[in-house]
Amino acid sequence: MLLGVDTGGTFTDFVLFHEGRLRVHKLLSTPDAPERAILQGVAELGIRPEQFSSLRVVHGSTVATNAVLEGKGVRTVFITNYGLKDLLSLGRQARAELYALQPVKLPPPVPPELCLETGGRLGADGSVVEDLDPSELARLRAELQRLQPEAVAINLLFSYLDPRFEEAIEAIVPEGIFVSRSSAVLPEYREYERGITTWLNAWVGPRVEGYLQRLAAGLPGAQIAVMQSCGNTIGASLAGRRAVNMLLSGPAGGLSAARSIGALAGRQSLLSFDMGGTSTDVALIDGELQLSNEGRIGRWPVSVSMVDMHTIGAGGGSIARVDAGGLLQVGPESAGAAPGPACYGRGGEEATVTDANLLLGRLLPDAFLGGGMALDVAAAEAAVGRIATRLKLGLHEAAEGIVRIANEHMARALRVMSVQRGKDPRQMTLCCFGGAGGLHVCALAEALGMHQAMVPVHGGVLSALGMLTAPRGRQLSHSLQGVLREIPPEMINQAYAELREQGEHSLALEGLSADSIQASPSLDLRYLGQAHTLTLPWQGSPDEEAFHLAHQQRYGHRLALPVELVTLRLRLQGPEPDLPLGHLAPGSPQTETRHLAIHGFPQGVAVWRREELVVAQQIDEPALLTEQVSTTWIAPGWQCVVDPHGNLILDRH
Q: Average pLDDT, stretch 307-311?
A: 86
Highest mean pLDDT among 59-63, 65-69, 308-312, 455-459: 455-459
What are the CB-based long-range contacts (under 8 Å, 24+) for 35-44?
A: 35/211, 35/214, 35/215, 35/218, 37/7, 37/12, 38/5, 38/7, 38/12, 38/215, 38/218, 39/215, 39/218, 39/219, 41/5, 41/12, 41/14, 42/3, 42/14, 42/219
Element (H, E) at 302: strand 300-302
- DSSP one-letter code for 146: H
Proportion of the chain above pLDDT 90, given as a percent: 61
Which residue, 122, 116, 150, is CA-closest to 136? 116
- 72-204 shares the fold of 2-68+209-249: no
Contact 208, 63 (CB under 8 A): yes
pLDDT band for position 252 (cuts 50, 70, 90): confident
Residue 413 sits at the vertex; the CA angle it makes with 409 and 418, to the nearest 5 degrees, is: 145
* Paired strand residues for 322: 328
Contact 520, 539 (CB under 8 A): no
pLDDT in tens, 489-522: 999 999 999 999 999 999 998 888 999 999 999 9
* Residue 289 confidence (pLDDT) above 90: no
pLDDT in tens, 576-592: 887 766 666 666 676 66
Contact 432, 417 (CB under 8 A): no
* Residue 353 confidence (pLDDT) above 90: yes
Distance, CA of 473 to CA of 225 (rounded, Å): 11
Instruction: Choose the CATH number for 72-204 among 1.10.287, 3.40.50, 3.30.70, 1.50.10.
Output: 3.40.50
Mean pLDDT of the chain: 90
Q: Average pLDDT, stretch 392-399?
A: 95
Highest mean pLDDT among 29-38, 166-175, 340-349: 166-175
- DSSP one-letter code for 86: T
Which residue, 650, 495, 494, 636, is CA-closest to 568? 495
Instruction: Estimate to the nearest angstrom the gap between the alpha carbon of 125 and the chain centroid.
Output: 36
Q: Average pLDDT, stretch 602-624?
A: 90
Contact 307, 252 (CB under 8 A): yes
80-94, 119-133, 306-320: range with lowest mean pLDDT:
306-320
pLDDT score of 585: 64
Q: Average pLDDT, stretch 266-273?
A: 90
pTM summary value: 0.83
Contact 194, 186 (CB under 8 A): yes
Instruction: Estimate to the nearest angstrom the gap between the alpha carbon of 295 and the chain centroid.
Output: 11
5-19, 62-76, 580-594: range with lowest mean pLDDT:
580-594
pLDDT band for position 476 (cuts 50, 70, 90): very high
Instruction: Estimate to the nearest angstrom the gap between the alpha carbon of 139 and the chain centroid.
Output: 41
165-174, 355-364, 404-413, 588-597: range with lowest mean pLDDT:
588-597
Report helix, strand or coil for 424: coil
pLDDT band for position 412 (cuts 50, 70, 90): very high
* Paired strand residues for 429: 270
10 Å Cβ neighbour count for 339? Answer: 15
Domain parsing of the chain, residue ranges: 2-68+209-249, 72-204, 473-573, 594-652
Q: Give the Å distances, CA to CA, from 448 to 123, 441, 598.
A: 51, 11, 26
* Residue 298 confidence (pLDDT) above 80: no
- DSSP one-letter code for 480: E
pLDDT in tens, 441-461: 999 999 999 999 999 988 888
7-21, 68-82, 310-324, 583-597: range with lowest mean pLDDT:
583-597
pLDDT band for position 423 (cuts 50, 70, 90): confident
Q: Which fold has domain 2-68+209-249?
A: Nucleotidyltransferase; domain 5 (3.30.420)
Contact 354, 341 (CB under 8 A): yes
**SS3 string of 454-469?**
EECCCHHHHHHHHHHH
Proportion of the chain above pLDDT 70, given as a percent: 97
10 Å Cβ neighbour count for 504? Answer: 17
pLDDT score of 16: 93
Residue 333 sits at the vertex; the CA angle it makes with 291 and 11, to the nearest 5 degrees, is: 65
* Residue 100 confidence (pLDDT) above 80: yes
Q: Give the Å distances, CA to CA, from 97 to 242, 531, 573, 575.
A: 32, 22, 41, 46
Residue with more model confidence, 337 or 537: 537
Q: Average pLDDT, stretch 68-81?
A: 91
pLDDT band for position 268 (cuts 50, 70, 90): confident
Question: Inter-axis angle of helices 462-469 and 249-264, to 10 degrees?
Answer: 80
pLDDT in tens, 213-251: 999 999 999 999 999 998 889 988 888 888 999 888 878
pLDDT score of 636: 94
